[in-house]
Structure formats: structure tokens, C-alpha cells
């Protein structure tokens, strides 16, 4: 499954580039670039993922413009005020899932450790917990994100891979705002802790993403 930015979203990114928002906000589920009588928002939205497990989701983002005055809610956190955006890049990642492991020795070993923990917490003998769970099955599988150009990406099955534009990296005079979904987690919780990073910090934090230059309308499309 591919969740890549549409042309209208790329146009909004171009509009943001070299602009000077009145303020930049985060509301956990979205990032807002506020202007005088309008705003551009980046929303986190879960979508169906190509996976062995039908319940798996891919965290995607949508970029929209609202032609109305932005009204921050009580949870909104202001990140920046009256600061020119000097550059923007699209952050793209590959999300894939490993095959499920069911009732192997490895799974049984994990279950046994978990049952011992339950025994300590509940005060019930481990043998009794084993009897209660006898006949049930367990399975485990992992979700992995990596750069689409990485060696790791070669391990992904095309059938269970998801190429996703997960947000943008915004530059303000050598400070960087990673307005993107990280680790296929819902929302932008990382922006509530430390929204602005140095060049060294942003480089270290983006090793699982491919950064893509947003081209002008007249240039070749991304």
C-alpha cells in the first residue's frame, strides 16, 4: 500500500516553504501553521496497512488548508512564533510486517516467562496458570520501519510493505521541526517533549526515513 502526498498536499508544502507563519502549534494529533486568516494543518490518520494481520494499521498524515482563523484548543502547545521557514523536506518511510510466529518453541518460551510473571503478580501457581491457558494459541509478529533505500528494506515482502509519506521536516534558521509520525505511532507526542532539534539531532533521529526535496511546479515531480 502506498500513502504518498497528493499534488494538492505538495502544493501546500510549497506554499509553506519560505513563508513566515504567525505561529506553529502542536495538538498531539496535528501540527498547525497559523497565518492571519487561515492555517495549514498536518493531521495524523490511521489507515489500513498491507499486512499478514488484518488488524494492523499504518499511521499516515494528511495536509489541509483551512480558510478561517485558527483557534487553539486548551491542549495546544506553541512551538514557534513569527519565524521564517527556510526549507522543507518530505519524510518518507517503508513500513512492513514480519510473518507471525505461532506455537513454536520460541513462542512457548515467551509465554512461559509471561506466565511466571502472572504467577508472581497474582499469587497463583504457574502450573495453575498453564492449565488455565492450556489449549489456547499465541502468535507474535513485528512491525518494522526503515528508509526505502536502506539494506533493511530488501528484507521486506512486497505483499506486506507500505510506502508512506509520514510528514515533513521544517527548517527555521538551523533549527528543525520533525512534523512527522515516528515509529508508526499515533500522533506527534515527540513534539510535546522537544519539538525543535539541532542539525546533529535531526540527522540522528531520521536514519529510518528518506528525506525528499519538494520541487517547484515547473520541475520534475517527486
What pLDDT, in 10s, does the model give residues 106-137? 444 544 554 454 444 444 444 553 554 454 44
HEC string of the chain equals CEECCCHHHHHHHHHHCCCCCCEEEECCCEEEEECCCCEEEEEEEEEECCCCCCCCEEEEEEEEEECCCCCCCCCCEEEEECCCCCEEEEEEEEEEECCCEECCHHHHHHHHHHHHHHHHHHCCCHHHHHHHCCCCCCEECCEEEECCCCCHHHHCCHHHEEEEEEEEEEEECCEEEEEECCCCCCCCCHHHHCCCECHHHHHHHCCCCEEEECCCCCCCCC
What pLDDT, in 10s, does the model give residues 33-57? 999 999 999 999 999 999 988 889 9
What pLDDT, in 10s, does the model give residues 129-176? 355 445 444 455 788 999 999 999 988 888 889 999 999 999 998 899
What pLDDT, in 10s, does the model give residues 61-100? 999 999 999 999 999 999 999 999 999 999 999 999 887 6
Confidence (pTM): 0.80
Residue whose C-alpha cell reads 506553541 in the numeric block: 78
Amino acid at each position: 500500500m502506498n500513502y504518498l502526498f497528493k499534488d494538492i498536499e505538495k502544493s501546500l508544502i510549497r506554499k509553506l516553504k519560505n513563508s513566515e507563519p504567525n505561529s506553529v502549534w502542536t495538538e498531539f494529533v496535528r501540527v498547525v501553521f497559523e497565518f492571519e486568516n487561515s492555517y495549514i494543518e498536518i493531521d495524523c490518520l490511521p489507515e489500513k496497512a498491507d499486512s499478514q494481520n488484518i488488524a494492523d494499521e499504518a499511521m499516515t498524515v494528511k495536509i489541509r488548508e483551512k480558510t478561517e482563523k485558527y483557534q487553539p484548543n486548551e491542549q495546544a502547545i506553541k512551538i514557534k512564533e513569527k519565524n521564517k521557514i527556510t526549507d522543507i523536506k518530505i519524510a518518507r518511510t517503508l513500513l512492513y510486517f514480519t510473518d507471525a510466529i505461532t506455537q513454536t518453541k520460541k513462542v512457548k518460551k515467551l509465554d512461559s516467562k509471561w506466565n511466571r510473571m502472572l504467577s508472581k503478580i497474582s499469587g497463583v501457581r504457574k502450573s495453575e496458570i498453564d492449565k488455565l491457558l492450556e489449549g489456547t494459541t499465541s502468535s507474535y509478529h513485528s512491525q518494522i520501519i526503515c528508509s526505502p533505500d536502506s539494506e533493511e528494506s530488501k528484507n521486506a515482502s512486497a505483499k506486506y510493505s507500505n510506502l508512506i509519506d509520514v510528514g515533513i521536516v521544517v527548517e527555521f534558521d538551523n533549527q528543525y521541526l520533525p512534523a512527522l509520525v515516528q515509529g508508526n505511532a499515533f500522533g506527534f507526542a515527540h513534539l510535546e517533549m522537544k519539538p525543535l532539534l539541532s542539525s546533529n539531532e535531526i540527522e540522528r533521529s531520521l536514519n529510518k526515513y528518506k528525506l525528499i526535496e519538494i520541487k517547484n511546479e515547473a520541475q520534475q515531480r517527486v
